[in-house]
Chain A
């Protein structure tokens, strides 16, 4: 697989090191800054090319026409969006991944056909939320195209769901409680499984159902 990484900052550099370890991958890193490109070239060699990854003529020279994947991970959302769109619509690259620096750009990127987005702010937020004690629902992973995502939460002792079997709970459609991690370790629940306070619940839920699911499982019931 031929992969072009646009942006040789910390993210692009780390990514290139990872990809380089995998056999059967050919990787090119494109870096706009001359000094940075020089440093990277000294360390990583010919895979590093100095140029503008959003410029069509330049991408042509690094073989974008035969690329299977373009990953745009600069600190500049404009550059990431344009590099992805150029890859997709000019070179017909099968798959594009873009880093989104401003979370408010996420919807625009997806709407304009970037196949996958990686939101640095979103990831940092999720990590911080994971360290908060309670009442939270932590998004683990988006399931693209389905409108679903995988979330992690803890059963609050005074939540509406605590002490009840799954079959008695009225979740919104498409909520799938997948794994419960309790005192006895991880198990796949069935309808008879009772949610115990403190259990960790991993579920697949519609992306717009966070508030409902949180209120049922991870928060004290109203008036409690």
Chain B
């Protein structure tokens, strides 16, 4: 599978590493070259400096041939903008979007993105931990 990942933070880098290890063709986009330090030197995928909301960067990253687009950059709005662009303008079949704000995550899930909210998941995990659930 050809996967484009926007954002090389801990989540982006971790996911990129795992997908590459599983044999997928991975390209990671980040505006900051420093972020690529989170990838091991032997990472087999492509590192691309640029903004995931910028059409030129997306085209250079091969968005037209991508099977999957994952937006895990810092800002919710940037992730949502890039994801909708991937889906609506470039016809990427599978688009996964991190949206920290739970309500925004819910809304854009309803509007057709596959969203997840780490805030919501985190609250649930912490809540369960408080009551010793799953310990």
Q: Which residues of A contact B (CB under 8 A)?
A: 54-57, 76-79, 81-82, 85-86, 89-90, 102, 104-105, 107-108, 111-112
Contact: B101 with A56, CB < 8 Å?
A: yes
Which chain B residues lie closer than 8 Å to A111 at the CB level? 88-89
Q: Which residues of B contact A (CB under 8 A)?
A: 53-55, 75-78, 80-82, 84-85, 88-89, 101, 103-104, 107-108, 110-111
Given A55-B101, A107-B89, A78 and B110 contact (CB-CB distance below 8 Å): no
A74-B77 Cα distance, complex, nearest whole Å: 12
| Closest chain A residue, CB of each to CB of B79 | A78
Given A79-B77, A90-B107, A112 and B88 contact (CB-CB distance below 8 Å): yes
Give the shortest distance, in Å, between B117 (CB) and chain A (any CB).
12
Contact: B104 with A54, CB < 8 Å?
A: yes
Give the shortest distance, in Å, between A97 (CB) and chain B (any CB).
17
Partner of A81, one of B54, B77, B110: B77
A102-B53 Cα distance, complex, nearest whole Å: 10
Give the shortest distance, in Å, between B92 (CB) and chain A (any CB).
13
Determine chain A's interface SS by DSSP, over half rule. Answer: helix
Which chain A residues lie closer than 8 Å to B111 at the CB level? 85, 89
Contact: A86 with B104, CB < 8 Å?
A: yes
A102-B76 Cα distance, complex, nearest whole Å: 18
Given A78-B75, A104-B55, A56 and B104 contact (CB-CB distance below 8 Å): yes
Contact: A108 with B103, CB < 8 Å?
A: no
Which chain A residues lie closer than 8 Å to B81 at the CB level? 77-78, 81-82, 105
Contact: B84 with A57, CB < 8 Å?
A: no
Which chain A residues lie closer than 8 Å to B77 at the CB level? 54, 76, 78-79, 81-82
Which chain B residues lie closer than 8 Å to A105 at the CB level? 81, 85
Given contacts A54-B104, A89-B107, 4 further A-B contacts (CB under 8 A): A56-B104, A82-B80, A86-B104, A102-B54
Which chain A residues lie closer than 8 Å to B55 at the CB level? 104
| Closest chain A residue, CB of each to CB of B53 | A78
Contact: B78 with A78, CB < 8 Å?
A: yes
Which chain A residues lie closer than 8 Å to B108 at the CB level? 85
Most buried by A among B78, B81, B103: B81
Which chain A residues lie closer than 8 Å to B84 at the CB level? 81, 108, 112
Which chain A residues lie closer than 8 Å to B53 at the CB level? 77-78, 102
